[in-house]
Structure 1
Amino acid sequence: MYPTEESDPFCLSAASATRLLAGAPWRRFASMGDSLAAGTGDPTPGYANLGWPDRLADMLRRARPDLAYLNAAKIGATTTKTLENQVGQVLEFGPDLIHISCGANDIWQPDPDLVEIGRNLRRIFARAAETGAQLTTFTLGAAFVVPRFPDWHDRVRALNDITRELAATHAAVLVDMWSHPVNSRPNLLSTDRVHFSTSGQAVMASELVKGLAGVLGTRSVTSDRASERCGKA
């Protein structure tokens, strides 16, 4: 039997998320990049039909009701298109919390240029970091494979390495989905066998809340979840 959002061990309840984000200073949240940044995914029974960015915005609004939110991400966007069409829009919005997920569509090409991908991503992260905003990002998960590319996982690992490097350089909150246990769930992927369904979207949002809580220095996730279990007993 598959978990529901309420029973999912990787999902935070609204009450837990609110406690972890207490005192959050962020007033303007923006996401840019490709479909991962957009929160694209099919509905999963037992989970709210929301992508991770909308979920995170809702959680942040519980702590900061005046939060402004912009999702500039586009399905199919490459690093080049993100630079050309999204970075300016996001910077004009004036965010103090910026999510960046991009590069998957670049490595989907027959012969991806990892040097160019890295160069573009460095420019995207650098321009976002210049605002002084807190940055967040994901690595790609291992759940989906592109059959026509026998080296697909090597491509993903290379992109993930670039993402990890940039997260470290810019003190970004990194949610590393590559080896996350959720990758083994049979119902994780949408019908396109690429995007995480809303069960995965819920997990990603919760993991980002935990990462942001670490930035805030709020009470630990472990103690918070323990108190939640006691409350349910």
Structure 2
Amino acid sequence: MPSTLTEATDPWCLRPGEAADLLRGHPWQRFVVLGDSVAEGLCEPVDGYPDVQWADRVAAELRAVRPGLAYLNLGRRGLRAHEVRATQLAEALAFRPDLALVVCGGNDAFRSSYDPEAVDAELAAVVAALRDAGADVITVGMFDVSHSPAVPDALRPGLGERMRLLSRHTRAAAHRLGALHVHLTDHPLVADPSLYSSDGRHGSARSDAIATAETLRVLARRPAPDAPAVDPPPR
């Protein structure tokens, strides 16, 4: 990444005023985030990009349009999908959200014992409960962190296969359950080392800026009330 590149000049980030245009008239008043370290926010600082993690940035843009927006981030590092459901779902429902961001499964996919069907069941339980409570839900196909320079070469193929499997399953669950979906796994910059932190597990401030842009664009395409989800089924 050129040293002169900043969020203001990065072609994959939002331009000044674009967030407000994308979210103009949005209906949400209570935004909750559930998940693991990606939800909590552990992005590594990058010169030229705000040191503000992804979910907080989305909340700030939503609040800029609707200043009374209530925001609760329950994300906590290290959690697997079943732990997200067991420790966060009840509190999330008690918050009475009308918008929820759910990010989980990455810690499962980091393990060679990853069971996609078990993770699917946990994710579906979380998304269905939030949808039944009246919330719009966003799921995420995360950047494929196997491209991180910090991941040992011997681990890349297996990790990449599992991360892409998780992404496909998450997208399919979102479509099935009527959730919105942010697909980052096939982003044109997925192999760019500037998107990843030095720990080989998380993203950089640049990846969070790009993820924010993609999330707001998905929210801007939200369907009208009672319309079917706009995200196409996976192929």
TM-score (norm 2): 0.87
Summarize the Cα distance change of 1:91–1:109 in structure 2 as closer, same or farther, 3 Å threshold.
same
Contact kept, 8 Å, 1:30 with 1:69, in 2: the verdict is yes
Alpha-carbon distance between aligned partners in 1 of 2:72 and 2:205, rounded to the nearest angstrom: 20
Alpha-carbon distance between aligned partners in 1 of 2:207 and 2:217, rounded to the nearest angstrom: 15
Deviates more, 1:149-158 or 1:41-50: 149-158
Alpha-carbon RMSD across the aligned residues, in angstroms, is 1.6
Displacement of 1:108 after TM fit?
2.0
Contact kept, 8 Å, 2:120 with 2:173, in 1: the verdict is no
Summarize the Cα distance change of 1:14–1:137 in structure 2 as closer, same or farther, 3 Å threshold.
farther
Displacement of 1:162 after TM fit?
1.4
Contact kept, 8 Å, 1:98 with 1:134, in 2: the verdict is yes
Larger relative contact order, structure 1 or 2 (CA cutoff 8 Å, min sep 6): 1
Alpha-carbon distance between aligned partners in 2 of 1:144 and 1:154, rounded to the nearest angstrom: 9
How does 1:1-150 map onto structure 2 within 5 Å? Answer: 1-2=2-3, 3-144=5-146, 146-147=151-152, 149=155, 150=157
Contact kept, 8 Å, 2:145 with 2:160, in 1: the verdict is no
Alpha-carbon distance between aligned partners in 2 of 1:27 and 1:182, rounded to the nearest angstrom: 33
Contact kept, 8 Å, 1:103 with 1:159, in 2: the verdict is yes
Equivalent position to 1:198, from 205, 209, 216: 205
Equivalent position to 2:175, from 157, 165, 168: 168
Displacement of 1:14 after TM fit?
4.4
Displacement of 1:184 after TM fit?
3.0
Displacement of 1:122 after TM fit?
1.4
Q: Residues 177-214 of structure 1: CA distance to partner in whole angstroms, max 9, x if unpaired?
A: 11102223232111112211111101101111111111
- SS of the residue corresponding to residue 215 of structure 1 reads coil
Q: Residues 102-143 of structure 1: CA distance to partner in whole angstroms, max 9, x if unpaired?
A: 011112223122221121111111111111111112102124
* Residue correspondences, number: 217
- SS of the residue corresponding to residue 34 of structure 2 reads strand
The aligned counterpart of 1:220 is: none
Alpha-carbon distance between aligned partners in 2 of 1:108 and 1:37, rounded to the nearest angstrom: 16
Unaligned stretches of 5+ residues in structure 1? 218-233
Displacement of 1:216 after TM fit?
6.2
Question: After the TM superposition, which parts of structure 1 deviate over 6 Å for at least 4 consecutive aligned residues?
Answer: none
Displacement of 1:175 after TM fit?
1.3
Alpha-carbon distance between aligned partners in 1 of 2:188 and 2:24, rounded to the nearest angstrom: 28
Aligned: 1:208 with 2:215: yes
Opposite residue 8 of structure 2, the aligned amino acid is E
Contact kept, 8 Å, 1:42 with 1:196, in 2: the verdict is yes
The aligned counterpart of 2:165 is: 158
